[in-house]
Amino acid sequence: MAVEFEDNRVKVKDAIGSAAIVFLHEACGLLEKQTKQNAKVKTGQTKGSYSYAVDEVELTGYVGSNYENAIWEEFGTGEYALNGDGRKGGWRYMDEKGNWHYTKGKRPRRPLFKAFTSLKGRITKRAEQVLKERLEAE
């Protein structure tokens, strides 16, 4: 009795890569949406600045903002900075209308962290589903 070996490594690798790309777009889109829902809205600038990107070659996804205030919203400033390493003692600043204000900083709202924390289980489960569906389809 002869045993024949069929090498499916390339097909399996392609199916896994395809599943990963589908999953990354889905997961990053979900995280972006939840982060925007968590974001404070004054002008909408920070909320609207969140986006995601997927590197389909490296199979990595990124969710975030290139807007400076998003960093302050996530980690806080001054005496309220998340790691306690902000400026102490408060400071004065002028707003866009020319009015002066005194502050000790901004409390971290953590919209991205809260989005990830609330969706982590759902995203993990979905990764398993997508991979299983793609491999069974092959």
Q: Report the alpha-carbon distance of residue 114 to residue 31 in Å, rounded.
A: 10
The predicted model scores a pTM of 0.83
Tokens 């971290």 belong to residue: 108
Query: How much is the pLDDT for 79?
Result: 95
Query: Per-residue DSSP letters for 33-64?
Result: HHHHHHS--SSSHHHHH-EEEEETTTTEEEEE
Residue 1 CA to its chain's centroid (Å) = 55
Residue spans of the chain under pLDDT 70 = 138
Instruction: Return the H-helix or E-strand segment holding 103.
Output: strand 100-103
Query: How much is the pLDDT for 138?
Result: 66
